[in-house]
Structure 1
Amino acid sequence: MEDKNTPVCQFNYEQFLSHALQNKVDFSDVIRELFTTNQDPDFYTGAMHSLSISYSDTDNIVRLIKVAQRHGIYNLDVILPYALEERQIQIIQDECQCRVENKVDYQDKLIVTLYDKTQA
């Protein structure tokens, strides 16, 4: 369950894949477009340098979560073009030591809750 007092950063992975595959716009513009929060510009830069269409979905999401962790983001929603399999979610949780909930509404979404390692 996310902390209601902590802002949620939302990343649209579906749009990332679509824009990156079309290769019609500058990659840094794509990354800025996909975040719906007022995060530190270093966060955008970290994500921009970490994600690639040559990586698997699982690897990209692990990379995105690790960037979020480095920037003190504790609640991250990742909009997906399709649901991830349970084994992918388990890999993400194990790699990032976070809680991941796969939510399917009108759109597939991962709700990621990161733990503050300074509080552990």
Structure 2
Amino acid sequence: MTTREIHLELLLGKPVLDSTGKAVGRIEEVRTEQQGEEWIVKEYLIGYVAVLERLSAWTIGLGILHLLGAHKIHGGHTVPWDKLDLTDPDKPRLRCSLDALKSLDKQPQDTE
């Protein structure tokens, strides 16, 4: 297996395209796991809800949205590392349908 390094800071904010070339969201966060001395990418978070996670603002952000009348927050997905094609890091593409991804939908009561 060939390994390759990509600077994560250059991926943040990049629009992710589906198989038809439609933008489905931007890479807002990357979840990793340490294995020995290396850090391995487990998944990427894309969409509006992922911004709150990146800023560690779940409790405050969702609380404010709840006060403004939001009952369910939509707008993000979890992309497993192997479902994102980074052959061209400037144009990341999904290797699956958007429907196949886990949604990052959050309920305001999830913050309690």
Q: Same fold (TM over 0.5)?
A: no
Normalised by the length of structure 1, the TM-score is 0.26
Q: Please report the TM-score for the alignment, with normalisation by the length of structure 2.
A: 0.28
Larger Rg: 2
